[in-house]
Structure 1
Amino acid sequence: MNITIVGPGAIGSLWAIKLLKAGHNVSLWSRSSETATDLSLDEQTSLSFSNNNIEKLSASDLVIVTVKAWQVKEATTPLLQYLDPDTILMFMHNGMGAVDEIATQIDAHPVVLATTTQAAFKPDRNSASHTGLGQTQLGAFNLQGQQCTFLVDVLEHALPTVNWNPEIKTALWTKLAINCAINPLTGLEQVKNGDLSEPRFSKTLAAIIEELTHVMQAEGISCSFDELETNVNKVIQATAKNNSSMKQDMFYQRKTEIDFITGHLIKTALKHQIEVPTNQKLFAMVKERENSWNHQD
């Protein structure tokens, strides 16, 4: 397939390299003005990718958007004029709500949502490390997206394990719940994920999960407090040594994805008239910290 990766950060670079090695024609689209980019994975030989090539973008069968949630709109909309209506758009990012913002503009395309627990890190512009094996779930965002189950084979061949999830909304909410529990706390406290298992965080985590359970149930997602808590604790243990993306963003004083993580939860809670004071407080604290920095990049 002809594939364009929009936003070759850590996850985007990982998929670009894996898909190229699996035999696909892969090009990149990024904020860089360079026409070619070399990427290496886990210190192996560098591979060369064309960057910001309109011809290759127009010829794409699949465009995978791997930018931050708050960049989805500005990264995607300028590209639509070059794409055939048959081009599949796949969005792979943390949080929820970003694709809804551009739903009417992309509705001519088959649209697929993806969530992955593959972990990657980019120590510098031209190299990436695959820091943790995980699984990737795909699901349809719109009617045309339902025809795209074959993408499981395409992605599975490049970087297993990949599954099609007809209930992708449940998978996204489960990931969102984990992000709501881990990201704001690790960002505000500047601690690693594993530190959240300390007793000083248990009360706050329980309150976050309690609020999430009510909102998810109101959204028609079958879940219980115990299930969610077990899930969150599992991820805290499994990623104990990791720095969350929000921790890193806040350390470097970069804009965070809080609007599309805890912000999405708060918006949904409001719709159902459910009180979420703990999440609201954490959201306000992260926003306050963001606003205190002089720059927003």
Structure 2
Amino acid sequence: MANILVVGDGAIGLLFSHFLAKHHAIYILTRKGTVNTRFYSHSNAASEKINATFISQEQLSQTPEFDIVLFTVKAFAVQQAYAQVKPYLGNNTHIILSHNGMGNVEQLNEQLTKQQSLYFLTTSIAGFKSNPNIVQHTGNGQSVLGGCNQLAIQNIQQLSEQLHTIPQLIVSNNIEQLRFEKLLVNIAINPLTALYNIKNGQLRAPQFNSSIINLLTEACHIATALKLNIKLIDALERAYKVMSLTAENYSSMHQDVLHNRQTEIMAICGYISEQGKLHHIATPYNDALLAKILAKKSAE
């Protein structure tokens, strides 16, 4: 049994906590009330209490040393969250990131000790919070764990065994490729559903075809510049498959815009735009969608 700290009590953080609590002691760092019980709900089954201890920033010093810290906050919040937790990390703590979009891995690696391993966990599990205390598990999918520094690559099998209660968990030796493939799905779905206020499945309508193709074409040019082997036809197939599997779901960016929260657009279209400038590749469609989401967020 390991002591695991989950940083962030959004839908994915609560889903992972529910699965991991079957074999581990789970602590969830939250900015909300720590005395409230959180529940997991799947399909028509009765809700289950999530067996975790909710703690505040002030309580971190009173907890046992953590073997694993899993960051499930949005991409833009990772650096601040890491700074808050850093004083309480052990010399051999396993650190896992799980968010949409790119970024953070390089910056975090520079801040770790030589004994700390860094991983990325990408997931297709779907869920949403129907209220602040209940997470609805709305879709099954594969979760992939990969090492982001040399020590993590050496230890990944051991860590994956500790995390085995996460459904459909596999290990990858090329997590950067998988992260970029997931980025392409995010580009195709998240900003457009947020911009047009629609469910994921509605993007399969013909009027969105050209936008999706243009966005992913630019992103595939960036992938080539980064020496990643990603073909446009494969990116389109993955994106439309996710649209079908999550047809009745609203994307996380849709929900962020709807509730006037900061979005992960800078780690999605913003990443493509940034890489385009670095590699002298034009990305007008991602640039335009980035600007529209930023304007929509700031206008509301």
Q: What are the equivalent positions in structure 2 for 1:1-297 lying under 5 Å apart?
A: 1-21=2-22, 23-32=23-32, 34=34, 36-42=35-41, 43-50=46-53, 51-52=55-56, 53-55=59-61, 57-108=63-114, 109-146=116-153, 147-156=155-164, 158-293=165-300
C-alpha separation between the residues in 1 aligned to 2:62 and 2:211?
Answer: 48
SS of structure 1 residue aligned to 2:170: strand
* Contact 1:107–1:142 (Cα < 8 Å) also in 2: no
SS of structure 1 residue aligned to 2:177: helix
* Contact 1:98–1:260 (Cα < 8 Å) also in 2: no
Q: Report the residue type matching 2:156 in the other structure.
A: C
C-alpha separation between the residues in 2 aligned to 1:275 and 1:151?
Answer: 40
User: Structure 1 159/278 Cα, relative in aligned 2: closer, same or farther at 3 Å?
Assistant: same
| Percent identity (aligned) | 31
Give me the TM-score of the superposition, normalised by structure 2: 0.92
Give me the TM-score of the superposition, normalised by structure 1: 0.93
* Contact 1:17–1:41 (Cα < 8 Å) also in 2: yes
C-alpha separation between the residues in 2 aligned to 1:197 and 1:137?
Answer: 26
Superposed displacement of residue 209, structure 1: 1.4
C-alpha separation between the residues in 2 aligned to 1:215 and 1:70?
Answer: 21
C-alpha separation between the residues in 2 aligned to 1:11 and 1:75?
Answer: 16
Superposed displacement of residue 270, structure 1: 1.6
C-alpha separation between the residues in 2 aligned to 1:201 and 1:45?
Answer: 39
SS of structure 2 residue aligned to 1:223: coil
Superposed displacement of residue 33, structure 1: 5.1
SS of structure 1 residue aligned to 2:228: coil
C-alpha separation between the residues in 2 aligned to 1:86 and 1:240?
Answer: 41
Q: Report the residue type matching 1:94 in the other structure.
A: N
List runs of 5+ in structure 1 lacking aligned partners.
Answer: none
User: Structure 1 78/30 Cα, relative in aligned 2: closer, same or farther at 3 Å?
Assistant: same
User: Structure 1 291/45 Cα, relative in aligned 2: closer, same or farther at 3 Å?
Assistant: closer
Q: Report the residue type matching 1:152 in the other structure.
A: S
* Contact 1:117–1:134 (Cα < 8 Å) also in 2: yes
List runs of 5+ in structure 2 lacking aligned partners.
Answer: none
Superposed displacement of residue 107, structure 1: 4.7
Superposed displacement of residue 46, structure 1: 2.0
Task: Name which of structure 1's ranges 263-272 and 87-96 shifts more when overlaid on structure 2.
Answer: 263-272
Q: Report the residue type matching 1:29 in the other structure.
A: L
Superposed displacement of residue 58, structure 1: 4.8
RMSD: 1.6
